[in-house]
Structure 1
């Protein structure tokens, strides 16, 4: 997966992020897969609550066409 530069991230619309505050960018399939993996880890570490995790999963699956 390619990293987003600060400029690229800033250019993304708010709708390209899974969570408010422009958290978890999912502009493409590679970033959606990465968000799924990272969200699972963050949930288990206590950095996300269940609702945030489910939102990330739902939004990432939509980007991947797995609705």
Structure 2
């Protein structure tokens, strides 16, 4: 997975994030989508993220992961 610099992250469209309003959890690649799912699970376990928000993140990430090239 290539490093996501601040400049590149800022250029990503809202659709490239699992939570577009807050621009959190980038899902522009399959690898980042898989990582977003893992981070969401971790944050729920820590109590920093609601389970319903994690479901939204995982659904958005799954769309990217299952997309055919």
TM over 0.5: yes
Q: CA RMSD in A?
A: 1.2
Moved over 2 A (4+): none
Q: CA deviation at 1:49?
A: 0.4
Q: TM-score, normalised by structure 2?
A: 0.89
Aligned to 1:58: 59
- Structure 1 residue runs without a partner (length 5+): none
**Structure-1-length-normalised TM-score:** 0.91
Q: How many Å apart are 1:33 and its aligned residue?
A: 0.7
Gaps spanning 5+ residues in structure 2: where? Answer: none
| Partner Cα distance (1:3, 1:42) in 2 | 22
